[in-house]
Amino acid sequence: MTKIAELPRNEAGIAVALDELAAAFGERLLTGQAICEQHGHTTTWIDTQAPDGVIMATSTEDVSRAVSICAAHKVPVIAFGTGTSLEGHVNAPAGGICIDLMEMNQIVAVNAGDLDCRVQPGVTREALNTHLRDQGLFFPIDPGANASLGGMTATRASGTNAVRYGTMKDNVLSLEVVLADGRVIRTGGRARKSSAGYDLTRLMVGSEGTLGIITEITLRLQGIPEAISSARCSFPTVQAACETVMAVIQYGLPVARIELLDADVVKAVNAYSKLTLPGTPLLLLEFHGSEAGVVEQAETFGMLAEEFGGNGYAATTTAEERNKLWQARHDAYWAIVGLRPGCKAVATDVCVPISRFAEAVTAAQARAAELGLIAPIVGHAGDGNFHASLLVDMENAEEVARGEAFVKWLAELAISMDGTCTGEHGIGQGKRSYLTKEMGGAVDVMVTVKAALDPHNILNPGKILPE
Amino acid sequence: MTKIAELPRNEAGIAVALDELAAAFGERLLTGQAICEQHGHTTTWIDTQAPDGVIMATSTEDVSRAVSICAAHKVPVIAFGTGTSLEGHVNAPAGGICIDLMEMNQIVAVNAGDLDCRVQPGVTREALNTHLRDQGLFFPIDPGANASLGGMTATRASGTNAVRYGTMKDNVLSLEVVLADGRVIRTGGRARKSSAGYDLTRLMVGSEGTLGIITEITLRLQGIPEAISSARCSFPTVQAACETVMAVIQYGLPVARIELLDADVVKAVNAYSKLTLPGTPLLLLEFHGSEAGVVEQAETFGMLAEEFGGNGYAATTTAEERNKLWQARHDAYWAIVGLRPGCKAVATDVCVPISRFAEAVTAAQARAAELGLIAPIVGHAGDGNFHASLLVDMENAEEVARGEAFVKWLAELAISMDGTCTGEHGIGQGKRSYLTKEMGGAVDVMVTVKAALDPHNILNPGKILPE
């Protein structure tokens, strides 16, 4: 595993804080080794760094109280959801206290007339959508994992629907946040737009628990579309598929999803999900709209795809076929992992302007081959965001080094294209070294904001900002 | 006019800064009384507070140099665009230097393939759209005035298209900003989404020149739709019109515009634009999509409107008819002003959850009548945002007092409904007293951020934050 350096521990402070937290929370403070390690463990190739204790919070007051105790003794505080982040976000490099928010899982209110809802941070996106379905509503943001909405907010997550519905930044109306000294603020109300002062909502979205701990989220919702249809189309090359995506975006076709699977992924998916897709690059699409609208969208897409050599184009509106195709897409991670059992799948996450997408994807394929690496690619093509999933034997130090070289090369490629090293996973520990390359002097402003809002650096230290 | 208290002036610093600026900028430093007063004058009922000098900036380097000189002597710096803001944003209550950005009016790059562009802050929205038209592209945000894109970014502006295309926060990809000490940063690249660190772009959008001066803007663009159609529909009551809007939003009809004009505005518009609309509340709509799509949208709207007693429904796809209707909407401000010549039209700007929109609009009408005020209402109904334009005889102190009472009452009503005192105009000087009522302890966080990024409070002092 990749090791991230530990930070100095405030042993005396941690000991006193643990005593005070035990008095305040009783059995809801957990300090067993297994539970602590579990709370530093995520879907990442970065080594676990366990906290010293875990608070099972059940209310905003709990979070405020726990943070206040930690603040008094300058002890790190790390928020925890489903543990599905990918860049070591929940590691505790200086030890400290993890606040587990998964018992704060209430859907506080659904305002169907306003297409919004208020949820606690431990509600998962699937739990929310299950709750909403009977009201004809849904929440569109869908990262691969069934992540908590608090974690999704904290990492500015997105997923396959972002091309149509945006990312968490576009779908959070306002937040309740516990600050570094335990104060509780609300960053806004339920108006659909506002020009009232600084946009603290967006400052907190994507701040990865380093500026505050999110204890309630007001989300925008969507009505379930009258009709949904899916389509798939194979292409002779990644280039041809990407050019089709560019044409779709420029045409203004309001696709809800447009996903790229490269030939390696298609073959893996065929094997894993027992499908018979042609073993060439594939675009998988979804259209949302009226009955007539989705038919028209699918036809327009078919016409555009044909211009770029698309073949085997098939559209469907039956839920069964649609679900089968999208299930295959959602299982792509496991299909990829299955290509090399025993290896770790290391997710990369670059995002580039659409006009550079084909170039970036093909360059990534070529570079992986040069380095002797297996790195199948899936992409949220409509956003220019793609994941090359490196399959690395973590026991083989030389191969790990090649993997690290690829990850670095890819991040720098995206930055050189006016893109980003992370489209949706966040910086965490894993991408800190790229932030300054990407953002330059803006990082100093981030450091200033962090120092102002968390002067003792207790909120998720060692994340996002350079050392 | 409403007076806002002046702030203490740093006379010695201003004198030295003016000398240094004169040496650095020569004739591009203007200090004539008329030009200074013009740069403190905006579309507002707040008294002008002129700066001591105006720099006509032509480059980012100019802005950085001017800010550096002002920073060295702790002299206020106020950014200026078209001067169309509504809440005293460009006033200089402590004197200081205005930086006029209107000569920074270059469209630096248009990336048609990526649907984005880079512009200097002095480009107006109309100039940008004129430039884009031949490429089949447009920028959708349209506040009433032909504002500068820098000013629109700084106030988080929106307008009639926001229901479909969002506000400036949704359409700015990244910014170049001059900080309070003259440093220049870029807040991001051209990727359509990113999870790389704190969202400084959104922190700057809506910060009204108090955290930095925007010197370049990367904007998202849209393809001009294949088809555009308009519709209008009269309603017996505001309640019926608002209920139709709620139905439209819940139905998920992707209206591009849905504007409410109350009966007073319709009558004013009839007189001003020589139309013969029924003298009852009106909804004015625009649909963007494919040829078939806009027809279907218009039909669906007609069906929904009928359920709520809509009458005189008329749809059109000819550009001439459409332009005539929308011209009338855009001229509504002048039509309203014409109702009471010699009076000032004072814009209000509350925004509430859609489910409270009907209640808020009808309460505002009733309250204005109670207070003996004329306050016709237009609303960006799809967002729950409306403007009651008070027509006030500014020479009549007692009437001005009634006007102020109405403005305060309306802001507090919106806040009590979980809405905001400003949907799109910003806080400026005029709404500072409501910010704490609306945001509570979050204002303390804003104050902390401001102090961290502008420790000597030289960037647009006396705006947004409470004293």
Q: What is the pLDDT of residues B321-352, one digit of tens each?
A: 888 888 889 889 899 999 999 898 999 999 99
- How is A281-316 classified by DSSP, letter by letter? -EEEEEEEE-HHHHHHHHHHHHHHHHHTT-EEEEEE
- Could you tell me if B213 and B259 lie in one domain? no
Determine the Cα–Cα distance for residues A168 and A155; give it in Å rounded to an integer. Answer: 9
Confidence of residue B315 (pLDDT cuts 50, 70, 90): confident
Interface contact B109, partner A, CB < 8 A: no
- Could you tell me if B248 and B319 lie in one domain? yes
| Cα dihedral across residues A10, A12, A16, A18: positive or negative | positive
Q: Is the pLDDT at A34 greater than 70, yes or no?
A: yes
- Pick A426's closest partner by Cβ from B195, B354, B445: B195
Residue B268 confidence (pLDDT): 95
The CATH number given to whatever domain includes residue A304 is 3.30.70.3450
* Three-state secondary-structure class, residue B213: strand
Determine the Cα–Cα distance for residues B181 and B281; give it in Å rounded to an integer. Answer: 51
Residue-wise burial string across A330-352, b where 16 or more C-beta atoms lie within 10 A, e elsewhere: ebbbebbbebeeebbbbbbbbbb
For residue A467, being part of any structural domain is answered with no
Nearest partner of B104 among B80, B128, B118, B121, judged by Cα: B121
Interface contact B156, partner A, CB < 8 A: yes
- Could you tell me if B288 and B352 lie in one domain? no
Domains: count for chain B? 3
Query: Under 8 Å CB-to-CB from A7, ≥6 apart: which residues?
Result: A93, A94, A461, A462
Asked whether A74 and A31 are in contact (CB, 8 A), the reply is no
Q: Is the pLDDT at A321 greater than 90, yes or no?
A: no
Range of the domain at B297: 227-324
Residue A1 confidence (pLDDT): 52
Residue A318 confidence (pLDDT): 80
Residue B1 confidence (pLDDT): 52
Give per-residue pLDDT as tens, A381-396.
999 999 999 999 999 9
Determine the Cα–Cα distance for residues A364 and A357; give it in Å rounded to an integer. Answer: 11
- A113 with B355: Cβ contact below 8 A: yes
Locate A142 and state its tokens: 């869908």
- Per CB-CB distance under 8 Å, the chain B contacts of A429 are none
Residue type, B425: H
Scanning the structure block, which residue is given the tokens 């359509």?
B192
Of B223, B256, B273, the domain-final residue: B223
- Per CB-CB distance under 8 Å, the chain B contacts of A290 are 296, 300
- Could you tell me if B352 and B279 lie in one domain? no
Interface contact B443, partner A, CB < 8 A: yes
Residue-wise burial string across B170-193, b where 16 or more C-beta atoms lie within 10 A, e elsewhere: bbbbbbbbbbbebbbbbbbbbbbb
Q: Is the pLDDT at A58 greater than 80, yes or no?
A: yes
For residue A454, being part of any structural domain is answered with no
- Could you tell me if A327 and A344 lie in one domain? no
For residue A450, being part of any structural domain is answered with no
Interface contact A397, partner B, CB < 8 A: no
For residue B429, being part of any structural domain is answered with no
Confidence of residue A147 (pLDDT cuts 50, 70, 90): very high
Residue B142 confidence (pLDDT): 94
- Per CB-CB distance under 8 Å, the chain A contacts of B427 are 195-197
Residue-wise burial string across B69-106, b where 16 or more C-beta atoms lie within 10 A, e elsewhere: bbbebbbbbbbbbbbbbbbbbbbbbbbbbbbbbbebbe
Interface contact B249, partner A, CB < 8 A: yes
For residue B279, being part of any structural domain is answered with yes
Q: What percent of chain B has pLDDT over 90?
A: 90
Interface contact B274, partner A, CB < 8 A: no
The CATH number given to whatever domain includes residue B214 is 3.30.465.10
Locate all alpha helices (DSSP H) within B331-386, ordered by sequence: 332-337, 357-370
- Could you tell me if B216 and B177 lie in one domain? yes
Q: Which helix (H) or strand (E) holds A320?
A: helix A319-330
- B112 with A250: Cβ contact below 8 A: yes
- Could you tell me if B113 and B219 lie in one domain? yes
Give per-residue pLDDT as tens, A220-269.
999 999 999 999 999 999 999 999 999 999 899 999 999 999 999 999 99
- Per CB-CB distance under 8 Å, the chain B contacts of A166 are 170, 193
For residue A444, being part of any structural domain is answered with no
Interface contact A15, partner B, CB < 8 A: no
Average pLDDT, chain B: 95
Scanning the structure block, which residue is given the tokens 């500014």?
B394
Determine the Cα–Cα distance for residues B6 and B15; give it in Å rounded to an integer. Answer: 18
The CATH number given to whatever domain includes residue A414 is 3.30.70.2740
Query: Under 8 Å CB-to-CB from A236, ≥6 apart: which residues?
Result: A280, A281, A309, A311
> What is the distance of C-alpha B394 from the center of its chain?
23
- Per CB-CB distance under 8 Å, the chain A contacts of B384 are 191-192
Confidence of residue B195 (pLDDT cuts 50, 70, 90): very high
Interface contact B464, partner A, CB < 8 A: yes
What's the average model confidence in pLDDT over B127-131?
98
Q: Is the pLDDT at A170 greater than 80, yes or no?
A: yes
**CA closest to B433 among chain A residues:** A196
Determine the Cα–Cα distance for residues B157 and B169; give it in Å rounded to an integer. Answer: 8
What's the average model confidence in pLDDT over B146-173?
97
State residue B374 phi and psi, 5-degree precision.
-100, 120
Select the more confidently predicted residue: B129 or A316.
B129
- Per CB-CB distance under 8 Å, the chain A contacts of B111 are 353, 355
- Could you tell me if B310 and B347 lie in one domain? no
Residue type, A261: L
Average pLDDT, chain A: 95
Residue A324 confidence (pLDDT): 85
**CA closest to B288 among chain A residues:** A252
For residue A117, being part of any structural domain is answered with yes
Determine the Cα–Cα distance for residues B208 and B300; give it in Å rounded to an integer. Answer: 40
- Could you tell me if A360 and A272 lie in one domain? no
Give per-residue pLDDT as tens, A82-141.
999 999 999 999 999 999 999 999 999 999 999 999 999 999 999 999 999 999 999 999
Interface contact A416, partner B, CB < 8 A: no
Residue B210 confidence (pLDDT): 98
- Per CB-CB distance under 8 Å, the chain A contacts of B455 are none
Residue B299 confidence (pLDDT): 94
What's the average model confidence in pLDDT over B195-209?
98
Give per-residue pLDDT as tens, B243-300.
999 999 989 999 999 999 999 999 999 999 999 999 999 999 999 999 999 999 999 9
Of A334, A355, A370, the domain-final residue: A334
Of A40, A70, A102, the domain-final residue: A102
Residue A144 confidence (pLDDT): 86
- Could you tell me if B175 and B241 lie in one domain? no
* Shortest Cα–Cα distance, B260 to chain A (Å): 17
Q: What percent of chain B has pLDDT over 70?
A: 100
Phi-psi region of B120 (alpha: psi -120 to 50; beta: other; left: phi over 0): beta
Q: Is the pLDDT at A208 greater than 70, yes or no?
A: yes
- Could you tell me if A154 and A51 lie in one domain? no
Nearest partner of A23 among A60, A58, A65, judged by Cα: A65
- Per CB-CB distance under 8 Å, the chain B contacts of A251 are 223
Select the more confidently predicted residue: A315 or A136.
A136
- Selected residues 25-44 of chain A with any CB under 8 Å from a CB in chain B: none
* Shortest Cα–Cα distance, B454 to chain A (Å): 11
- Could you tell me if A327 and A236 lie in one domain? yes
For residue B3, being part of any structural domain is answered with no
- A252 with B222: Cβ contact below 8 A: yes
Q: Tell me which of A19-23, A86-90, A103-107, B212-216 is least confident.
A: A86-90
Asked whether B363 and B413 are in contact (CB, 8 A), the reply is yes
